[in-house]
């Protein structure tokens, strides 16, 4: 039955239609109805994404649930959707995080809640669209359109310095994506269509042109990841965004940058990526090391987690670009491991960073402060919260048994095959991760009760507990048994390595 | 096909002239302060024109009146968009002018006269007829701007507009006379034939330069833009909305007739001139708009930038790029109308809306209109899925295909600057704290007009083909 449904279209449009109902249907006056409508929409979307997961054939690398309709015939732009092992887990993640944001903002947002919820639902649909689009222009449309609701969410519901932060966020990412547009137009011209798969089949005999396209992609996606040195918008945006905005930003939007690497950069310009791999590895190591140190120095909890996100995303880019040397050295298994490690890290970081921002949101709702110095001894008044926060902090520092460990471990093992020192450096920085996560935890949670406000804190209410349990289960499940996730990705990763990471300078050796 | 004296080919123009005479006489006998009958007749004649034009879509190209007149798909599509956008603009104007002692029959008559001028411009096939249409349009617009006699700002703008417009017309006329001297003919077909057989020569080049300057003046492209912000700012808002949008479509038609058809063989000569003008407009327009606090001036500078993008579409000189430019100019007209529509909408009965900051609190107190205005701004910035994105995409695609990659990158980089000031408007509506609710217009026709206009920007953005296919057929590019 499910194969008759246009499942991806539903995943995109259901939340958007739900959002329109939320805005125009119930209005501001019926707060309860608004919230339930949003919850039902987000829940239905998530349910749909899980249901389709059972139909997803994890033995194939080809696009599944394909939809293909003409959209703009005069430009040969098609409304074509499809998912593979790279994108489907991210769609499930998006749907889950949207649901979690809707639940977690239940009583916390008093100002124009219907617009707030509608913003997240629209964004959820558009983000699903980014991951599902197989037409480059369609991808670009979703990629850009998604910025608008985030811009409004940070700007309307954000902190005191929200206007600066949200303009910086929008202009930074827009600046990146205009270069993406130029690259896509050029590739579309060469390939004769805007189909991403056709672009991947393109032979590109000139390395210089490949490099230009590489840099166009790099500007667009590196801003989004964000990689050092174009990361500066992220701490601002995170600190000023409302809790839900931070969660979506960290859990989903950052993943779009690395998704872009996998979908566009690696397969379309492999020779340029190969040539620039060392450069990318250095940038990744700077992100992991230097940004880790920066995180250690933060006094604001949200900023700390924001910097730690940049450091963790460094592992993803490291895993992706280390694979080139591995393929060149015929360590195919290790290359698979590196890319898979990066992918698992993307999913896992989605859960962990989302959960950490929710934890900070829980504290912020009660104390209206994000300064670490304002806290201390919270464990005495909020024991249940302390337990969840502990788990997520541990996961953030890559404790074995949590999902944070799996991805980083795979990446380090893979880089060991290339160069001992890369692996050693990346491994050592795990200590940094432990330091900033656990030190923050110690300062906020342990010790004497710092002040009267902390003494009067109330522990988690059941709504918050539900959210925490969901995320905790995810973190532990993928930490203890990551095999299902790895299995879904396996064929796509193998295909990427066999067919797409080969040289495109001549048609020889390319898969047909 | 070549026919002379076939009056059926100018049915629309004859109809409009007759309608004008009828409306003029009917208006004389009207005592109604609100001029309901004049308004209705004006709109009805636009609808009739639209139907007439729509029926002649797809007809073959016919040259008539001894080569002075051409009826082709380009002219028909441009005329259709002129009618449609004028129709919408008059809805915007209605309540605005009735509060400002502008509700006179002349308002409608002058608008219709300028429409007639534009129709002649886009269908002209000789330099003389182009000039005739241009002057009919320009004189009507000068008078429209001057209509608010008791306002010193408006009168000043009218004088400026007249002087500058006269200068521009003079440039074009002088260029035309040089071309006539070089070729011995005023017919576009003869001129094109002459230049395809002979080299352009010094006199021809001189004439071309003057024509390009005159056109740039009319478009308000840098460095011939000085008049534009003052006049857009000074003219009554409903008139600004009209002169900023519709005449640009006709000016595009004129550009095509003069540059692409008459000077088709010397593309390299004029393309390099246009390229400089276009890039300067994109750069200067976007940069200066950043520092504007008055929404009308902001939109005026953004209009300069938009004209720059549009002219970049003309530069490659292929049929495909012309259709992209045409797409851009039609979409531009629609967006600009909505942009100045905001100004009209925010001007209450006795207050003239000016500052960007006057929009504060709109998001809180009038969320629907804040949403609509955000759509306008984001569409102007060229963010998908709104309509403003697609013509930009087409312009950039044509630039890249024809090897203007660096130019495309410069233009696209400055659209990031553009994003900044468009977002500033959104910022004021949503993020800035407001003390009390901003005043908005209470006119229902205006509310409907602005809702329709802004939603069009969204829906046409979801179905961009709906306009673009007509632009492609206008240049014989559709199967």
Which of A74, A112, A145 is facing B383, going by the closest CB pair? Answer: A145
CB-neighbour burial class of residue A144 (10 A; exposed 0-12, middle 13-18, buried 19+): buried
Report ipTM (2 d.p.).
0.87
Which residues share a beta bridge with B10?
Answer: none
What confidence score (pLDDT) does residue B2 get?
61
The distance of A205 to chain B (nearest Cα, Å) reads: 18
3-state SS assignment for residue A39 = helix
Q: Are the C-beta atoms of B49 and B104 separated by less than 8 Å?
A: no
Tens of pLDDT, residue by residue over B261-304, are: 888 888 888 888 999 999 999 999 999 998 888 888 999 999 99
Average confidence (pLDDT) over B39-52? 92
Give the span between the Cα atoms of A364 and A385, in whole angstroms. 13
Question: Contacts of residue B389 in chain A, CB cutoff 8 Å?
Answer: 141, 144
Residue A510, pLDDT above cutoff 70: no
- Which of these, A147, A101, A236, A28, lies nearest to B426 by C-alpha position? A147
Tens of pLDDT, residue by residue over B289-342, are: 988 888 889 999 999 999 999 999 999 888 889 999 999 999 999 999 999 988
Which of B400, B423, B468 is facing A170, going by the closest CB pair? Answer: B423
What does each C-alpha distance from A323 to A414, A416, A501, B106 come to in angstroms? 8, 11, 9, 74
Residue A168, pLDDT above cutoff 60: yes
Q: pLDDT higher for A33 or B411? A: B411
Report the share of chain B in percent with pLDDT over 90.
37
pLDDT confidence band for A10 (50 / 70 / 90) = confident
Q: pLDDT higher for B117 or A464? A: B117
Residue B86, pLDDT above cutoff 50: yes
Question: Contacts of residue A178 in chain B, CB cutoff 8 Å?
Answer: 412-413, 415-416
Average confidence (pLDDT) over B255-262? 88
Give the span between the Cα atoms of A250 and A266, in whole angstroms. 23
Residue A410, pLDDT above cutoff 60: yes
Contact B416 A171 (CB under 8 A): yes
Tens of pLDDT, residue by residue over A453-493, are: 777 878 888 888 888 898 999 899 888 888 888 888 888 88
Domain locations along chain B: 7-476
The distance of A174 to chain B (nearest Cα, Å) reads: 7
What confidence score (pLDDT) does residue B66 get?
85
Question: Contacts of residue A115 in chain B, CB cutoff 8 Å?
Answer: 367
Cβ–Cβ contact B135 with A under 8 A? no
Which of B364, B419, B432 is facing A174, going by the closest CB pair? Answer: B419
Residue A425, pLDDT above cutoff 70: yes
* Contacts of the segment A420-424: beta carbons below 8 A, 24+ positions apart: A422/A281, A422/A285, A422/A318, A422/A322
DSSP secondary structure, A110-167, as one string: -SSHHHHHHHHHHHHHHHHHHHHB-BHHHHHHHHHHTHHHHHHHHHHHS-TTHHHHHH
CB pairs under 8 A between A and B: 88
DSSP secondary structure, A167-178, as one string: HHHHHHHHHHHH
Q: pLDDT higher for B5 or A478? A: A478
Tens of pLDDT, residue by residue over A207-250, are: 888 888 899 999 999 998 888 888 888 888 888 888 888 999 88
The distance of B465 to chain A (nearest Cα, Å) reads: 6
Query: In terms of residues, how long is chain B?
Result: 479
Whole-model pTM: value is 0.91
Average confidence (pLDDT) over B126-155? 89
Contact B415 A152 (CB under 8 A): no
Contact A167 B423 (CB under 8 A): yes
Report the share of chain A in percent with pLDDT over 90.
12
The distance of B272 to chain A (nearest Cα, Å) reads: 22
Contact B465 A73 (CB under 8 A): yes
What confidence score (pLDDT) does residue B464 get?
87
Contact B430 A152 (CB under 8 A): yes
Nearest-Cα residue of chain B relative to residue A168: B420
- Tell me the pLDDT of chain A averaged across its residues: 86
Residue A111, pLDDT above cutoff 80: no
Average confidence (pLDDT) over B360-371? 84
What does each C-alpha distance from A348 to A176, A295, B7 come to in angstroms? 26, 19, 75
Residue B101, pLDDT above cutoff 70: yes
Nearest-Cα residue of chain A relative to residue B416: A175
Residue A92, pLDDT above cutoff 70: yes
Tens of pLDDT, residue by residue over A294-333, are: 888 888 888 898 998 898 888 888 888 888 878 777 778 8
Could you tell me whether strands A77-83 and A64-72 are parallel, antiparallel, or unpaired per DSSP bridges?
Answer: antiparallel
What confidence score (pLDDT) does residue B301 get?
93
Q: pLDDT higher for A83 or B102? A: A83
Q: Which residues, 6+ apart, have CB-to-CB distance to B332 below 8 Å? A: B245, B248, B303, B306, B307, B310, B391
Tens of pLDDT, residue by residue over A358-408, are: 989 888 888 888 888 888 888 888 888 888 989 999 888 888 888 888 888
Contact A182 B465 (CB under 8 A): no
pLDDT confidence band for B25 (50 / 70 / 90) = very high
Residue in A185, A187, A215, A219 to test binding to B, most B beta-carbons within 10 Å? A185
Q: Which residues, 6+ apart, have CB-to-CB distance to A199 below 8 Å? A: A136, A187, A188, A190, A191, A264, A268
Contact A186 B430 (CB under 8 A): no
What confidence score (pLDDT) does residue B479 get?
45
Contact A144 B383 (CB under 8 A): yes
pLDDT confidence band for A3 (50 / 70 / 90) = low
| Torsion angle in degrees (nearest 10) through CA of B395, B400, B406, B409 | 50
CA B22 remoteness from chain centre? 27
Tens of pLDDT, residue by residue over B67-80, are: 889 888 899 999 99
Query: In chain B, which among 376-405 make CB contacts under 8 A with chain A?
Result: 378, 383-385, 389-390, 393-394, 396-397, 400-401, 405
Q: pLDDT higher for B347 or B174? A: B174
Question: Contacts of residue B385 in chain A, CB cutoff 8 Å?
Answer: 141, 145
Chain A residues with CB under 8 Å of a chain B CB are 71-75, 112, 115, 137, 140-141, 144-145, 147-148, 151-152, 155-156, 162-163, 166-167, 170-171, 174-175, 178-179, 181-182, 185-186, 188-189
Q: Supply the DSSP symbol for B356.
A: G
pLDDT confidence band for B44 (50 / 70 / 90) = very high
Contact A74 B393 (CB under 8 A): no
């Amino acid at each position: 039955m499910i194969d008759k449904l246009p499942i991806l279209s539903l995943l995109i449009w259901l939340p958007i239609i739900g959002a329109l109902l939320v805005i125009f249907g119930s209005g501001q006056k019926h707060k309860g109805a608004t919230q339930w409508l949003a919850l039902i929409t987000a829940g239905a979307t998530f349910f749909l994404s899980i249901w389709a997961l059972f139909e997803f054939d994890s033995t194939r690398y080809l696009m599944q649930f394909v939809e293909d309709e003409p959209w703009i015939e005069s430009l040969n732009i098609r409304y074509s959707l499809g998912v593979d092992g790279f994108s489907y887990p991210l769609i499930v993640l998006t749907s889950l995080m949207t649901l979690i944001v809707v639940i977690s903002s239940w009583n916390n947002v008093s100002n124009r809640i219907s617009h707030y919820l509608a913003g997240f639902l629209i964004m959820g649909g558009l983000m699903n669209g980014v991951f599902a689009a197989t037409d480059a222009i369609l991808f670009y449309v979703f990629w850009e359109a998604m910025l608008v609701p985030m811009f409004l969410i940070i700007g309307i519901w954000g902190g005191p310095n929200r206007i600066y932060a949200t303009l910086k966020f929008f202009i930074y990412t827009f600046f990146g994506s205009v270069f993406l547009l130029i690259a896509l137009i050029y590739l579309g011209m060469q390939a004769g269509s805007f189909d991403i798969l056709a672009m991947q089949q393109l032979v590109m005999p000139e390395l210089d042109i490949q490099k230009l396209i590489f840099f166009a992609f790099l500007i667009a996606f590196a801003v989004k990841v964000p990689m050092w040195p174009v990361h500066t918008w992220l701490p601002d945006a995170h600190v000023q965004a409302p809790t839900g905005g931070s969660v979506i930003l960290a859990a989903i939007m950052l993943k779009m940058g690395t998704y872009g690497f996998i979908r566009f950069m690696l397969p379309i310009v492999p020779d340029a990526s190969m040539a620039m791999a060392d450069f990318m590895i250095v940038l990744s190591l700077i992100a992991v090391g230097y940004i880790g140190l920066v995180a250690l120095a933060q006094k604001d909890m949200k900023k700390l987690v924001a910097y730690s996100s940049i450091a963790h995303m460094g592992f993803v880019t490291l895993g992706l670009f280390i694979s080139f040397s591995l393929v060149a050295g015929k360590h195919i298994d290790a290359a698979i491991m590196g890319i898979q490690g990066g992918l698992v890290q993307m999913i896992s970081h989605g859960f962990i960073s989302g959960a950490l921002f929710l934890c900070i949101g829980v504290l912020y709702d009660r104390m209206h402060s994000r300064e670490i110095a304002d806290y201390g001894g919270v464990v005495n008044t909020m024991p249940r919260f302390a337990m969840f926060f502990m788990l997520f902090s541990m996961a953030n520092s890559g404790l074995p048994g949590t999902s944070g460990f799996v991805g980083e471990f795979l990446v380090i093992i893979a880089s060991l095959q290339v160069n001992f020192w890369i692996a050693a450096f990346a491994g050592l920085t795990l200590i940094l991760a432990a330091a900033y996560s656990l030190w923050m935890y110690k300062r906020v949670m342990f010790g004497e009760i710092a002040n009267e406000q902390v003494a009067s804190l109330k522990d988690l209410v059941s709504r918050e507990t539900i959210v925490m349990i969901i995320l905790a289960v995810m973190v532990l499940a993928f930490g203890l048994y990551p095999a299902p996730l790895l299995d879904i990705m396996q064929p796509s990763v193998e295909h990427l390595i066999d067919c797409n990471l080969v040289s495109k300078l001549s048609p020889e050796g390319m898969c047909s | 096909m070549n026919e002379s004296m076939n009056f059926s080919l100018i049915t629309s123009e004859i109809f409009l002239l007759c309608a004008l005479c009828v409306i003029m006489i009917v208006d004389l006998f009207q005592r109604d302060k609100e001029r309901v009958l004049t308004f209705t007749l004006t709109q009805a004649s636009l609808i009739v024109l639209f139907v007439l034009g729509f029926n002649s879509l797809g007809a073959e190209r016919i040259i008539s009146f001894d080569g002075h007149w051409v009826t082709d798909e380009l002219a028909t599509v441009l005329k259709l968009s002129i009618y449609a956008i004028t129709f919408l603009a008059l809805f915007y104007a209605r309540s605005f002018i009735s509060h400002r002692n502008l509700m006179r029959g002349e308002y409608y008559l002058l608008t219709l006269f300028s429409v007639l001028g534009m129709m002649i411009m886009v269908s002209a096939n000789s330099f003389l007829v182009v000039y005739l249409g241009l002057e009919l349009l320009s004189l009507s617009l000068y008078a429209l701007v001057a209509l608010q006699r008791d306002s010193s700002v408006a009168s000043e703008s009218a004088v400026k507009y007249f002087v500058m417009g006269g200068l521009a017309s003079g440039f074009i006329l002088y260029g035309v006379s040089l071309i006539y001297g070089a070729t011995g003919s005023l017919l576009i077909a003869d001129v094109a034939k002459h230049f395809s057989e002979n080299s352009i020569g010094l006199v021809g080049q001189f004439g071309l330069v003057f024509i390009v300057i005159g056109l740039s003046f009319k478009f308000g492209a840098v460095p011939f833009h000085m008049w534009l912000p003052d006049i857009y700012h000074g003219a009554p808002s409903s008139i600004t909305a009209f002169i900023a949008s519709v005449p640009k479509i006709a000016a595009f038609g004129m550009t095509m007739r003069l540059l692409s058809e008459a000077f088709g063989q010397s593309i390299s000569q004029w393309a390099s001139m246009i390229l400089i003008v276009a890039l300067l407009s994109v750069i200067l327009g976007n940069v200066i708009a950043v520092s504007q606090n008055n929404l009308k001036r902001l939109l005026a500078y953004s209009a300069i930038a938009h004209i720059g993008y549009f002219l970049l579409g003309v530069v490659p000189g292929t049929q495909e790029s012309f259709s992209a430019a045409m797409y851009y100019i039609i979409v531009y007209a629609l967006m600009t109308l909505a942009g100045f529509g905001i100004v009209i909408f925010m001007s209450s009965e006795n207050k003239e809306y000016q500052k960007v900051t006057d929009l504060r609190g709109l998001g809180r107190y009038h969320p629907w209109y804040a949403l609509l205005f955000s759509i306008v701004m984001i569409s102007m910035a060229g963010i998908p899925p709104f309509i403003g994105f697609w013509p930009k995409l087409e312009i950039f695609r044509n630039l890249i295909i024809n090897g203007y990659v660096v130019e495309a990158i410069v233009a696209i980089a400055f659209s990031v600057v553009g994003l900044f000031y468009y977002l500033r408007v959104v910022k004021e509506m949503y993020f800035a704290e407001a003390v009390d609710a901003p005043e908005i217009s209470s006119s229902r026709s205006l509310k409907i007009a602005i809702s329709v206009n802004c939603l069009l920007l969204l829906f046409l953005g979801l179905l961009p083909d709906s306009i673009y296919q007509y632009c492609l057929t206008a240049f014989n590019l559709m199967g």
